[in-house]
Structure 1
Amino acid sequence: MTATTIPTKTIYAGTGRRKASIARVRLIPGSGKLTINGLPGESYLQYSPNYIRITYGPLHTLGLDKEYDILVNAQGGGLTGQADAIRLGVARALCNVNPEHRGALKAEGHLTRDSRVKERRKYGLRKARKAPQFSKR
């Protein structure tokens, strides 16, 4: 269990990964604010309702929307990968809060790590599978 105690506050931590993104998430009892890399979460996610919905997904599932402040250190990849990485990190941190949350989060798919990553480039090809144009003559 990764829980750190500071005076009168407990911090629950979780790490999420997706594509090339890594998100280190900390849950602190609070009012439901989202902070990503020192910026307000909505502004960092470009006010996209889809990214915001994905990020808060595990909290909505458990009905804990206004119970915890979310502090995130995200790096690598783009916004889609980072939003999904944050979702996984929040879900893992909620499992540290109370192990009984695990069943509900797993049923909604919040604890599943999406392992799809970009395929490596092969020699003789332009990208992973795209070949140069074939000329018969």
Structure 2
Amino acid sequence: MTNNLESVFNKDTIGLGKRKRAIARVFLVPGEGNLIINKIVGEKYFQYNTSYLTSIWSPLKSLNLQNQFDIVALVYGGGLTGQAESIRLGVSRLLCKLDPQNRKTLKPFGFLSRDSRIKERKKYGLKKARKASQYSKR
């Protein structure tokens, strides 16, 4: 499945985006503004949630390119929010690869910054990452 798309596109036409546990490989194909995620229509994949869809299309809208490209993404891991934001980062990075002038437009919106917040690991002696049992003085 993934090898078929990656064999058609070379390394320069893949945008990689990460957020929390989600990893997205994004491809921009000349088209009329369709979104395909894991071979499923994007609206159906994100359960018709407009906030996820506007988040994905925002880098292309800021450059007025929303009707010139189709977004094809291969995503795994994480939840829907992490996947949507990882696709947005992958689209932004790919647009910068295509034309370095796009970086000046996308950088002020924060589309090129990787959100590094991930789940903190559980420590021994604690119940969760920071939750400890109640302290008793007496």
Q: If the length of structure 1 is used for normalisation, what is the TM-score?
A: 0.89
Which position in structure 2 is the counterpart of 1:12? 13
Alignment of 1:128 onto 2:129: yes
SS in 1 for 2:89: helix
Amino acid corresponding to residue 55 of structure 1 in structure 2: I
Q: Report if aligned partners of 1:105, 1:111 keep a CA contact under 8 Å in 2.
A: yes
Q: Secondary structure at the match of 1:69?
A: strand
- Residue matched to 2:3: none
Match of 1:21 in 2: 22
Q: Secondary structure at the residue paired with 1:99?
A: coil
- Over the matched positions of the two proteins, sequence identity in percent amounts to 53
SS in 2 for 1:108: coil
The residue aligned with 1:59 is 60
* Inter-partner Cα distance in structure 1 for 2:43 and 2:86: 16
| Structure 2 gap segments, 5+ residues each | 1-5
Residue 80 of structure 1 is matched in structure 2 by 81
The CA distance in 2 between the partners of 1:127 and 1:134, in whole Å, is: 16
Shift of 1:126: 1.0
Whether the 8 Å contact between 1:19 and 1:115 is mirrored in structure 2 is yes
Q: Secondary structure of the residue that 2:14 maps to in structure 1?
A: strand
Q: Distance in 2 between matches of 1:123 and 1:131?
A: 10
The alignment covers a number of residue pairs equal to 129
- Matched with 1:117 is 118
Equivalent residue, structure 2, for 1:44: 45
Distance in 2 separating the partners of 1:61 and 1:84: 16
Distance (whole Å) between structure 1 residues aligned to residue 57 and residue 85 of structure 2: 10
For 2:88, the aligned partner's letter is: R
- For structure 1, the residue ranges without an aligned partner over 5 or more in a row are none
Partner in structure 2 of residue 34 of structure 1? 35
SS of the equivalent of 1:127 reads coil
Matched residues in 1 for 2:109 and 2:56: separation? 14
Q: Quote the RMSD (CA, aligned, Å).
A: 1.6
Letter in 2 for 1:79: L
Greater share of strand residues, 1 or 2? Answer: 1
CA distance in 2 between counterparts of 1:131 and 1:113 reads 31
